[in-house]
Each structure stands twice: as C-alpha cells, then as structure tokens.
Amino acid sequence: MGRKRKLGDVYAFMLPNGQYAFAHVLQEAAIGVYKHLGTSLNDLPTDNNEYMFIISVYRSVFSKWIFIENRPFETEDDAWAPPRCMYDRIGQSFHQYYRGKIIPSTKEECVGLEPMAVWNECHLICRIMEGDKWKQWFPNYSGIIDNLS
C-alpha cells in the first residue's frame, strides 16, 4: 500500500517528453500544478506558489506518482484552491465552488475561473502538454465563458 497523501505533499509524475511535472496537494481534492517542469526528480520547483493551474484530481493518481517532499503552506488560506465555476445545463445557471460550498453566481463572475471538474492523470498530462486544447472537453462551459466580452 502506498503513502497516504497529506496536505502540502509534493508529487512528481513523468510527462511523455521525459520531463517531470510536480503537483502540490491542496485542501479537498485539489492540487496546484507547478509551472516549473523538471529534467529530473531532483530538479524541483523553487517557488511554492507558482502554479500553472489548480484543479481537482482523482485520488487514484497519487498511487501512480512519486512522493517528493512535504511543503507546508505559509498561511491556511494558501492551502485552498481559488473559486471554480460550475454551469448547470438544465437550469442554465452558474455557480461557484469555493471551500466546499456551492454559491450562486453569474457568468460574468465566472470569467477566468477554472471549471469545477475532477481530472484523471491522462487528461492532466494532455493539458500540460497541449495548452488550451483541454477546453474542448468542456464545450458548454468554455463556449459560454470564452465568448463573454
């Protein structure tokens, strides 16, 4: 049985190009994926809060990844993901998910927010390697949000 993930843990996983990506465990099921991509497991990110993006992942991904170290957060607030957006297709309404709560919202308030979704490792790797191509997986969300002026 593998190590149980803890708040502040940093994990590494290999990308198809041979580089390593690093993920910082946040509250709930969220991770911050560091902007820094390493050439080895020892080529670690140096800035604790320089994330490429913050998303939620399935618990199962941690059993595939390599535990590196625990990096505690400076403040309790730093350990939480920023608000994320949810779109209800049936009710055609927007909500924000923040610190375990679902809050009614407007689409204007959702501009620039990450969609609330749980990602698997293969989708996470595609997002790192292929940039904005991931938005095709959320056509209702990204089409509405991206077209706001």
pLDDT at 32: 95
Q: What is the pLDDT of residue 149?
A: 36
User: For 65-117, what is each residue's pLDDT tens digit?
Assistant: 999 999 999 999 999 999 999 888 888 889 999 999 999 999 889 888 888 88
The angle at the Cα of 127, spanning 126 to 129, to the nearest 5 degrees, equals 65
Q: At 141, give phi and psi (nearest 5°).
A: -70, -55
pLDDT beyond 90 at 38: yes
The whole model's pTM is what? 0.86
- Kindly indicate the confidence band of residue 148, based on its pLDDT and cuts at 50, 70 and 90: very low
Query: Is pLDDT of 49 > 70?
Result: no
- In Å, how far from its chain's centre is CA 141? 16
18: Cα separation from own chain's centroid: 21
